[in-house]
Amino acid sequence: MDSKELLWSEIVSRISRCSKCDLHKYRTNPVPGEGSLYSKMLLIGEAPGKNEDEEGRPFVGAAGKLLTELLEVRGIKRSEVFITNVVKCRPPNNREPYDEEIRACSEYTVSIIKLVSPKILVTLGNHAGKFIFELGGVRWINVSRMRGRSYKMDIVGIKDVLVIPTYHPATALYNPNIRSVLESDFDMIKEYYFMEYGVGSIKRKTLLDFLEGGRH
Ligand code: SF4
């Protein structure tokens, strides 16, 4: 286990014992996040839902399937990126998390951002957008006003993070208009993502295919 993995297991262990906000009373499993700790891209959503709470993994329900599809049709394997939420325990009846719960959980969110140290941070929905923009000292309005472009900011000591706000995939499940906006935002995310890896807008199936192809 290297130092990143060690730090990650410490964060997971702290979250699993956490009772800093009332959400701990409702969780079956905490949902710290998952993916590559070495990724240049971190995606941050709102809160675990029923499926996530049962599995202890983020984005595994219908919204998660859509998120995975949005990434993978663009050649980005879900396992290549890191995914978490602003709160790590499920709010009752899938209500939105309260500001004080997001604040209570921010210690872990900040630790995760520092650990992954991403070049690109994608915020999914209003709660994640507001939280990250406040960390970066940039005024947040709402997702519909802020989406469609990227913002460079220093976040928790990491310089020049490219923050890309977009809708939460759950909002697109039954709204074809939001779905097409999300598709267009993920086209932009893909461009920046592959640029970060210095491979431009490649047509190869996935970044891993590209890297593995280069070794042959
Ligand atoms: S949501 Fe975050 S702060 Fe609240 S109990 Fe869970 S881990 Fe702790």
Answer yes or no: is pLDDT of 210 > 70. Answer: no
What's the rounded Cα separation, in Å, for the pair 180 and 171?
A: 12
Centre of ligand 1 from the C-alpha of residue 25, in Å: 10
E strand spans, 128-216:
151-155, 158-166
> pLDDT by residue (tens digit) across 78-123?
999 999 999 999 999 999 999 999 999 999 999 999 999 999 999 9
Nearest ligand 1 atom to alpha carbon 27: 6
For ligand 1, atom 2, which residue shows the shortest CA distance?
Answer: 105
What's the whole-number mean pLDDT along residues 70-75? Answer: 98
Residue 64 pLDDT exceeds 70 = yes
pLDDT range class, residue 204, cuts 50, 70, 90: very low
Which residue's CA is the closest to the ligand 1 atom numbered 4? Answer: 21
Alpha helices in 77-175 (DSSP H): 99-116, 126-135, 143-146, 169-172
Q: How far apart are CA 125 and CA 119, in angstroms?
A: 19
Q: Which atom of ligand 1 is nearest to the CA of 101?
A: 4
**What is the number of domains present in the chain?**
1
Q: Chain-wide mean pLDDT for the chain?
A: 93
In this structure, are residues 44 and 88 in contact, taking their beta carbons and an 8 Å threshold? no
Atom of ligand 1 nearest to the CA of 19: 5
Reply yes or no on whether the pLDDT at 23 is more than 70: yes
- Domain of 104, CATH number, reads 3.40.470.10
Substitution candidate for ligand 1 out of 87, 95, 96, 102 with most atoms within 8 A of CB: 87
Task: Answer yes or no: is the C-beta of 89 below 6 A from any ligand 1 atom.
Answer: yes
Give the domain extent around 174. 3-215
CA of 203 to the centre of ligand 1 (A): 40
Q: What is the DSSP letter of 157?
A: T
Structure tokens at 48: 């675990």
**What is the spatial distance between Cα 43 and Cα 101, in angstroms, rounded to a whole number?**
19
| Tens of pLDDT, residues 35-55 | 999 999 999 999 999 999 999
Distance 46 CA to ligand 1 centre (A): 13
Q: Does any ligand 1 atom lie closer than 6 A to the CB of residue 112?
A: no
Decide: 101 in ligand 1 pocket, CB within 6 A: yes
